[in-house]
Chain A
Amino acid sequence: MFALALTNGLVIGIVYALTALGVSLVVGIMNVINFAHGEFYILAGYFSYLFAHTLGMDPLAAMLIAVAGVFVLGLVVEYTLIRPTYGDDMYSLILTFILSIVLQSIYLLVFGPYPNKPPGWVKGATDIFGLFFYGNQRLAALGAGVAVIALFFAMLKLTWFGRMIRAASQDREMAELNGIDTTRLNMFGFGLGCALAAAAGVILAPVFPVTPTAGTPIALTAFVCVVLGGMGSMSGCVLGGLVLGVVENLGAAYVSTGYKHLFMFLILILVLLIRPAGLFGRREA
């Protein structure tokens, strides 16, 4: 039971981490908390359902198009809703909160209240070290999550775009002085943040179907990951996601499924008591 709960925790944890990376990215670059982050996750799930199930596209192609679609929507949202609010973080908070409710209502209208599930990529199950049988779709989700996170980190480290992101996250004004158009960077950073949520969405939707309101707890968990790992630390964010995923599943296995969110907050409070800046957080002067 322990090994199974642990594996479940890792699968969910990786997806949490992926979602949280998007939040962390956007907070880092533009100091904006996107309350509609979870709704972008859900939208990607719906998109991949729509393309793969309804239109009969290849699941992988459907996923890629779904992520690309959410990326473009992210650009539009930044341009129309967030950009006019620069200089006053409160407005973007309220606007994205309204956006999340509007999107939830649209999902309800278009897709109905019932769970929707895009087709899986693989079938069957694998024997894990003779301990238990584990669904191949979940294993594939784990692999895909790890791959996307690795790609994201490689992008941050190796490309000009990645270096622009890191520079601007540390000192926006200095980055602008180094010739970076930080207004444009905001737009692409926000789009990329949404795309990370979308990647998490398309990866997990074949396992956990999407519903109009399922984005709220996902965004909540992502915010907790970011705080847990330490604001501004990308690797902390990944660790935070894994910790939450594992704790949640161990708790569900040994105590009760009903206390999922309670465990999450207990962990958060515990970590913040011991390390106020989060696991990997730098304490700013």
Chain B
Amino acid sequence: MLTIEGVDVFRGETQVLWGIDLTVADAERVAILGSNGAGKSSLMAAITGLLVPRKGTVRLRERSLTGLKPHQITHLGIALVPEGRRVYKGMSVRENLEMGAFPRRGRPRLKETLDRVLNLFPALGRRMNQGAGTLSGGEQQMLAIGRALMSRPELLLIDELSLGLAPRVTKEIYAALDGLGAETTVLLVEQNVELALKHSGRAYIVESGRITGQGRSTDLMNDPNIRRAYLGM
């Protein structure tokens, strides 16, 4: 579904990613691991068009995303849950979700998708007319994910799902993601390595802007180096 080949990304004049190769197949759950400043968010930005790679290609189902603006990439079926959630605080929960359905692929099915999202996150259903700024951190993350799902994406990108959330809420959200089904492919960035490996089939390790490891999540979980570096064991 997603193919990234030899991608170099710069922020201004500073290079932040070097020769990234990464693939995500249909219906897969893939995690990206890495410490602070490794370049995980920059990679998300390169996929969604917020940062333009200087070298290499990003393709979605054989269609090159080179030269496309972020809104055009969204219309093709990629949705991002950004780091820090970035819900529209001045708008109601309902309006936030409706904004997510703005792309043509989401709008005709708005009602149906809304039901599905509220089914996934019942907490949102009780707060539909409340301002998004009044939600708790966990609810805002649910809203951010719900908003992304409203566009009926083929590929869902989630940056820092559990950051700043209580373990109970994190568990709830992961359970909801596990229930998404094969229709939505997920690429997620997660600080909590244990969680990330538990809820993904494969994972990539990013260090200082380069991919330094990859493999099946179950294998990585048992890899002594990984355990020492990321799980503190």
Could you list which residues of chain A lie within 8 angstroms of chain B, going by C-beta atoms? 160, 163-164, 166-167, 170-171, 173-183, 282
Distance in Å: Cβ of B93 to nearest Cβ of chain A: 14
Does the CB pair B74–A166 fall under 8 Å?
A: no
Contacts of A167 in B (CB 8 A): 88, 91, 99
How distant is the Cα of A209 from the Cα of B141 in the complex, in angstroms? Answer: 54
- If A163-B98, A171-B86, A173-B50 touch, does A178 touch B103 (CB 8 Å cutoff)? yes
Interface of A is mostly: helix
How distant is the Cα of A171 from the Cα of B86 in the complex, in angstroms? Answer: 8
Question: Which chain B residue lies CB-closest to A164?
Answer: B102
Does the CB pair B86–A176 fall under 8 Å?
A: no
For chain B residues 24-49, which have a beta carbon within 8 Å of chain A? 48
Verify if B199 is at the interface (C-beta below 8 Å from A).
no
Could you list which residues of chain B lie within 8 angstroms of chain A, going by C-beta atoms? 48, 50, 69-71, 74-75, 79-80, 82, 86, 88-91, 95, 98-100, 102-103, 147, 151
Contacts of B48 in A (CB 8 A): 177
Does the CB pair B71–A181 fall under 8 Å?
A: yes
Does the CB pair B91–A177 fall under 8 Å?
A: no
Contacts of A164 in B (CB 8 A): 102
Does the CB pair B69–A181 fall under 8 Å?
A: yes
Does the CB pair A174–B82 fall under 8 Å?
A: yes
Distance in Å: Cβ of A94 to nearest Cβ of chain B: 24
Contacts of A183 in B (CB 8 A): 69
Which of A160, A164, A166, A174 gathers most chain B CB within 10 Å? A174
How distant is the Cα of A22 from the Cα of B71 in the complex, in angstroms? Answer: 26
Does the CB pair B88–A180 fall under 8 Å?
A: no
Contacts of B88 in A (CB 8 A): 166-167, 170-171, 174
Contacts of B95 in A (CB 8 A): 163, 166
Question: Which chain B residue lies CB-closest to A232?
Answer: B90
How distant is the Cα of A176 from the Cα of B73 in the complex, in angstroms? Answer: 10
How distant is the Cα of A163 from the Cα of B74 in the complex, in angstroms? Answer: 18
Question: Which chain A residue lies CB-closest to B98?
Answer: A163
How distant is the Cα of A174 from the Cα of B50 in the complex, in angstroms? Answer: 10
Residue from the list B69, B89, B90, B99 in contact with A178, Cβ < 8 A: B99
- If A163-B95, A170-B89 touch, does A177 touch B102 (CB 8 Å cutoff)? no
Question: Which chain B residue lies CB-closest to A169?
Answer: B90
Question: Which chain A residue lies CB-closest to B105?
Answer: A179
Contacts of A163 in B (CB 8 A): 91, 95, 98-99, 102
Does the CB pair B89–A180 fall under 8 Å?
A: no
Nearest 5 Cβ contacts at the A-B interface: A179-B103, A179-B74, A176-B70, A174-B86, A179-B102
Does the CB pair A166–B91 fall under 8 Å?
A: yes
Distance in Å: Cβ of B125 to nearest Cβ of chain A: 20
How distant is the Cα of A173 from the Cα of B50 in the complex, in angstroms? Answer: 8
Contacts of A176 in B (CB 8 A): 50, 69-71, 74
Does the CB pair A177–B80 fall under 8 Å?
A: yes
How distant is the Cα of A167 from the Cα of B90 in the complex, in angstroms? Answer: 9
Does the CB pair B102–A160 fall under 8 Å?
A: yes
Contacts of B147 in A (CB 8 A): 178
Which of B48, B70, B86 gathers most chain A CB within 10 Å? B70
Distance in Å: Cβ of B106 to nearest Cβ of chain A: 8
Question: Which chain A residue lies CB-closest to B132?
Answer: A170
Question: Which chain A residue lies CB-closest to B89?
Answer: A170
